Amino acid sequence: MRRLETRWGILMALPAILGFVIFTIGPMVASAWFSLTDWTIGGSPSFVGLDNYTAMAHDELFWKSLGTTTYYTLGAVPLVLIVSFAVAMLLNEKVRGLAVWRTIFYLPTLVPAIANVVLWIWIFNPDFGLLNSLLRQGGLPGSQWIYAESTAVPSLIIMSTWGFGNTMVIFLAGLQGVPRHLYEAVSIDGGGAWRRFWHVTLPMMTPTIFYNLVVGVVGTFQVFNQAYVMTEGGPNHATLFYVYYLFRKAFTESEMGYASALAWTLFMIIMVVTFLIFRNARRWVYYEMAGAR
Amino acid sequence: MRRRDLFKLGGLAALGASTAACGGSGSGSGGDVELQFMYWGSTFEKAAVERMLKQYEQKHPGVRVKPLYTPDEYDVKLNTLVASNRLPDVGYVPLAMSFRLGEQGKLVNLHPYLKKYPQLAGYLPDAYLWTGQDNLHGVATANEIELLWYSKSALAAAGVAPPPADAASAWTWDQLVETAYKLTVDQNGKHPDEPGFDPKQVRQFGISSSITYGAAWYGFLRSNGVDFADEAGKKCLLDTPEAVEVFQNLQDLIYKHRVAPGPGQLAATGDDVPGTNILLKTKRVAMVVDGHWSLLDMNESKVDYGIGVLPKYAEPYTSTQVAGASAVFAGGKHEQEAVELFAFHNDPRYVDLFANGLWMPQEKKYYEDQAAVDSWTKNDLHPPEFRTAVVDYARDHGVPVFGNRVKNMSSISSDVLTPALQEIETGKRPAGEILKAAAPKISSMLQGWQHTQDV
């Protein structure tokens, strides 16, 4: 009976295991090898050692794309965290039609990525887009949004808040786990809303903030759709995000070897950044159950 | 659910179709040959190419051709097929990529086949694509040139004379600008040279002439007496005063004269600017510089259009051979049949894409011999001015576009040239400043012109 269970267990898990091995581990090993070769699609790869990695140091566009991506991450991650935290706090209040509100705020997350991007292209249209129409009605000058170098990345940062639903749900779950007795304690001490937030909500939420921060950073470092569909990396490389540059190297310029090296470099960068965030987290993340770990 | 459907669900329709087709051709019985023809194009072009393939099948019993229509991301998909060794038999290839695939031996050398298919030997010299001495890896699918399209009714409403239809009387740049002023109107009916003109609320732009698309301005560049690179193909000439003048003029259309749309202004949904047929039909723009291929869509959507030649600086010139390559992919099971299909797929005797207005022939006789000229131009789909504005213009004033002939063009374009042109288009700095910075960078990437030779 037990043997049977084991066998069925493995069998049932097999699709996931196979999927992971074939579609994740396999390509990872392959790309690690490609990154050490000069493989161009259609040609035959020959081993070049770390040449691809050293070439990056002199690749202006590598640095440009890394800078652009960092800029985007530094803007988008905090903004999404703040907005989704704020909305989660509102949705944690007992208001009428709570379920409806929660659904509405989560809805944008369900819009498929490309449909979302196409929608925002219209919102950003300098002539008849939603944003410029609103600004003009308010007597304000419009902006070129994604069509000018200086405003392209900030525009995409604004756009990133649109999909805050997932982060919000996690915050909401975290908020519901904050013990009520702590709030009562503040009230007894005569503390108002601000004290409740500053001395209870925020500290108790640090593990959730931490989680969302890490996931957010990892995600935004891989930003791609917007550059791919909206801007094609332009104007003048203003939105040349790292993964888009990698994609272009791989599939339009066919330099698979170099693109693989770019991919592994990004992997290492994300790993280091995540590690640093973890290290730093000890100073500000509060685990109620810290002793039990 | 069948595997094929699963693939489609994953957005891998092209890959899936070819996988399934490969299996089919491998196990084909009864001597049936199945070829795959991969191509891009508008929905009208899709239908036209499918008709061409049907016709080929009728003339060649026993051969089936599977169309692989790939409207978007063609280079990405073709690259994926190359990497996974699932190449089609015949198809379009983005031109810059064709040279790479030719060098890698992924394309059949057509030179030995020229004797068997004499129609292939009589092409315009610029149509041939050589990887090296006697290695003909493909041809430009069809000849295409840049023209000045206009909306007849928009011009009539403004009371201006249409652009000339013969090169000898081509407009000067100033004449173009002057006309564009009269054709540009904002929501209140004001022109750019009138007080109160609102450049943010333009109802109809006078002219649209792309800055980022090389073929659109290459004719102007040559007309002003300068080329993209020097004779050795090692030094970029975009920072010469002649080139700067051309680009400054284009930038001025948007920001100084305000008669042309800036970045994003034409977009309906983002970067997808509607086709020239739509721009003219809706009178969003009155005159558009675009390729001859627009003719098909113009006719299909019944636009009230006219064709003029481009404005000139000195000698009038227009870009020719503005097209992708066609090639036979190496390693297929049926090379003979594939070359046969290749010779057929752009032969005006069999293919209605020429008479329909999508393509211009590559064989010289279709520009010189009266009966041959008539065979593709004498029909309702080709307006009366077509003879002088297109046939004669292409023959006597065409210069093959630089993108097909400069080595390493794909990297130059995506890394330096396109970003610089985008910067010109955004209008923050004068064209000369931008080009002075970009030209040396391009020079450092130049590796000479592609090989050319006589057939």
- Dihedral in degrees, nearest 10, Cα atoms A57, A59, A63, A64: 170
pLDDT one-digit tens code per residue, B94-108: 988 999 999 999 999
Q: Tell if the CB–CB gap between A144 and B426 is shorter than 8 Å.
A: yes
- Dihedral in degrees, nearest 10, Cα atoms B260, B264, B265, B270: 140
Residues on chain A touching B426 (C-beta within 8 angstroms): 144, 147-149, 235-236
For the cut 80, the answer to whether the pLDDT of residue B16 exceeds it is no
Give the pLDDT confidence score for residue B323 in this predicted structure.
Answer: 85
| Inside any domain, residue A9 | no
On whether any CB of chain A is under 8 Å from the CB of B83, the answer is yes
Q: Which residue has the higher pLDDT, B29 or B212?
A: B212
Q: How many CA atoms lie within 13 A of B211 on its CB side?
A: 29
pLDDT one-digit tens code per residue, A256-290: 999 999 999 999 999 999 999 999 998 888 887 65
Residues on chain A touching B100 (C-beta within 8 angstroms): 40, 42, 254
Partner-chain residue, chosen from B101, B264, B423, that has the shortest CB–CB distance to A126: B264
Strand partners, B146: B291
Q: Tell if the CB–CB gap between A253 and B425 is shorter than 8 Å.
A: no
Which amino acid is residue A193, in one-letter code? A
| Inside any domain, residue A197 | yes
Token pair of B215 as six digits: 């073929």
Partner-chain residue, chosen from B83, B270, B426, that has the shortest CB–CB distance to A235: B426
- Is residue A224 within 8 Å of residue A262, measured between CB atoms? no
Among chain A residues, CA nearest to B270 = A121
- Give the burial class of B320: count Cβ atoms within 10 A of its Cβ; 0-12 exposed, 13-18 middle, 19 or more buried: buried
Question: 3.40.50.11540, 3.20.20.140, 3.40.190.10, 3.40.50.300: which CATH number matches B3-108+326-359?
Answer: 3.40.190.10
In chain A, the number of structural domains is 1
Among chain A residues, CA nearest to B72 = A229
Measured distance CA(B346)–CA(A18) in Å, rounded: 46
Confidence of residue B31 (pLDDT cuts 50, 70, 90): low
> DSSP states of B157-224 as a string?
HHT-PPPPSSGGGPPBHHHHHHHHHHH-EETTS--TTSTT--TTSEEEEEEE--SS-HHHHHHHHHHT
| Nearest of B318, B266, B156, B56 to residue A128 by alpha carbon | B266
| Inside any domain, residue A10 | no
- The pairing of beta strand B202-208 with beta strand B318-320: unpaired
Closest Cα of chain A to B381: distance in Å?
Answer: 35
Measured distance CA(B238)–CA(B236) in Å, rounded: 6
Q: Which class would CATH give B146-320+400-445?
A: alpha beta
On whether any CB of chain A is under 8 Å from the CB of B104, the answer is yes
Residues on chain A touching B76 (C-beta within 8 angstroms): 251-252
Strand partners, A154: none
Length of chain B: 455
pLDDT one-digit tens code per residue, B305-352: 999 999 999 999 999 998 889 999 998 899 999 999 999 999 998 888
CATH of the domain at A213: 1.10.3720.10
CA distances from B429 to A149, B255, B259, B263 (A): 12, 11, 19, 15
| Nearest of B20, B73, B417 to residue B236 by alpha carbon | B417
Among chain B residues, CA nearest to A229 = B271
For the cut 70, the answer to whether the pLDDT of residue A80 exceeds it is yes
- φ/ψ (deg, to 5) at B6: -60, -45
CA distances from B194 to A206, B174, B258 (A): 61, 18, 12
Residues on chain B touching A46 (C-beta within 8 angstroms): none
For the cut 70, the answer to whether the pLDDT of residue A21 exceeds it is yes
Residues on chain B touching A68 (C-beta within 8 angstroms): none
Q: Which residue has the higher pLDDT, B25 or B183?
A: B183
| Nearest of B341, B284, B309 to residue B37 by alpha carbon | B341
Closest Cα of chain B to A50: distance in Å?
Answer: 22
- Dihedral in degrees, nearest 10, Cα atoms B268, B271, B272, B277: 80
Please state, rounded to an integer, the average pLDDT across all residues of chain B. Answer: 89
Partner-chain residue, chosen from B83, B201, B202, that has the shortest CB–CB distance to A41: B83
Partner-chain residue, chosen from B104, B201, B423, that has the shortest CB–CB distance to A42: B104
Give the pLDDT confidence score for residue B119 in this predicted structure.
Answer: 86
Closest Cα of chain A to B237: distance in Å?
Answer: 20
Residues on chain B touching A146 (C-beta within 8 angstroms): 264
Q: Which residues in chain B (383-422) have CB-CB distances under 8 A to chain A?
A: 410-411, 414-415, 418-420, 422
In A, what residues contact B, Cβ < 8 A?
A: 40-43, 61, 117-118, 121-122, 124-127, 132, 136, 142, 144-149, 229-232, 234-237, 248, 251-254, 256
Confidence of residue B7 (pLDDT cuts 50, 70, 90): very low
Measured distance CA(B181)–CA(B437) in Å, rounded: 32
Q: Do domains B3-108+326-359 and B146-320+400-445 have the same CATH topology?
A: yes
For the cut 50, the answer to whether the pLDDT of residue B21 exceeds it is no
Closest Cα of chain A to B48: distance in Å?
Answer: 27
Best probe of the B interface among A236, A240, A247, A255, by most B CBs < 10 A, is A236
Q: What is the mean pLDDT of residues A235-242?
A: 93
pTM value is 0.86
Q: List the single range of A186-190, B11-15, B388-392, B415-419 with lowest mean pLDDT.
A: B11-15
On whether any CB of chain A is under 8 Å from the CB of B186, the answer is no
Q: Tell if the CB–CB gap between A252 and B270 is shorter than 8 Å.
A: no
| Inside any domain, residue A5 | no
Measured distance CA(B30)–CA(B169) in Å, rounded: 61
Closest Cα of chain A to B57: distance in Å?
Answer: 30
Report ipTM (2 d.p.): 0.81
Partner-chain residue, chosen from A125, A148, A149, that has the shortest CB–CB distance to B267: A125
Instruction: Provide the residue range defining the domain that includes A122.
Output: 54-292
Residues on chain B touching A149 (C-beta within 8 angstroms): 423, 426, 428
Measured distance CA(B371)–CA(B199) in Å, rounded: 49
First to last CA, chain B: 52
pLDDT one-digit tens code per residue, A98-140: 889 988 888 888 888 888 888 898 898 888 788 988 998 888 8
Strand partners, B39: B69
- φ/ψ (deg, to 5) at B294: -60, -20
pLDDT one-digit tens code per residue, B140-182: 999 999 999 999 999 999 999 999 999 999 999 999 999 999 9
For the cut 50, the answer to whether the pLDDT of residue A9 exceeds it is yes
Give the pLDDT confidence score for residue B25 in this predicted structure.
Answer: 40
| Inside any domain, residue A219 | yes
Among chain A residues, CA nearest to B82 = A42
For B81, residues 6+ apart whose C-beta sits below 8 A from its C-beta are B14, B15, B18, B38, B87, B88
Q: List the single range of A235-244, B22-31, B52-61, B68-77 with lowest mean pLDDT.
A: B22-31
Best probe of the A interface among B72, B73, B76, by most A CBs < 10 A, is B76
Closest Cα of chain A to B455: distance in Å?
Answer: 27
- Give the burial class of B437: count Cβ atoms within 10 A of its Cβ; 0-12 exposed, 13-18 middle, 19 or more buried: middle
CA A79, A84, A85, A90 torsion-angle sign? positive
Q: Which residue has the higher pLDDT, A176 or A128?
A: A176
Sorted by where each begins, the domain ranges of chain B are 3-108+326-359, 146-320+400-445
For the cut 70, the answer to whether the pLDDT of residue B1 exceeds it is no
Partner-chain residue, chosen from B76, B100, B264, that has the shortest CB–CB distance to A147: B264
Among chain B residues, CA nearest to A143 = B200
Closest Cα of chain B to A49: distance in Å?
Answer: 22
- Is residue B422 within 8 Å of residue A235, measured between CB atoms? yes
Sheet strand arrangement including B325-328: B63-69, B33-39, B90-93, B325-328, B135-140, B128-132
Give the pLDDT confidence score for residue A289 in this predicted structure.
Answer: 65
pLDDT one-digit tens code per residue, A36-56: 999 988 888 899 999 999 999
Give the pLDDT confidence score for residue A191 in this predicted structure.
Answer: 85
| Nearest of B422, B404, B412, B443 to residue B137 by alpha carbon | B404
Confidence of residue B20 (pLDDT cuts 50, 70, 90): very low
Q: Tell if the CB–CB gap between B426 and A147 is shorter than 8 Å.
A: yes
Give the pLDDT confidence score for residue B27 in this predicted structure.
Answer: 38
Angle at which helices A98-110 and A165-176 cross, to 10°: 140
pLDDT one-digit tens code per residue, B268-280: 544 567 789 999 9
Residues on chain B touching A256 (C-beta within 8 angstroms): 83
Give the pLDDT confidence score for residue B444 in this predicted structure.
Answer: 96
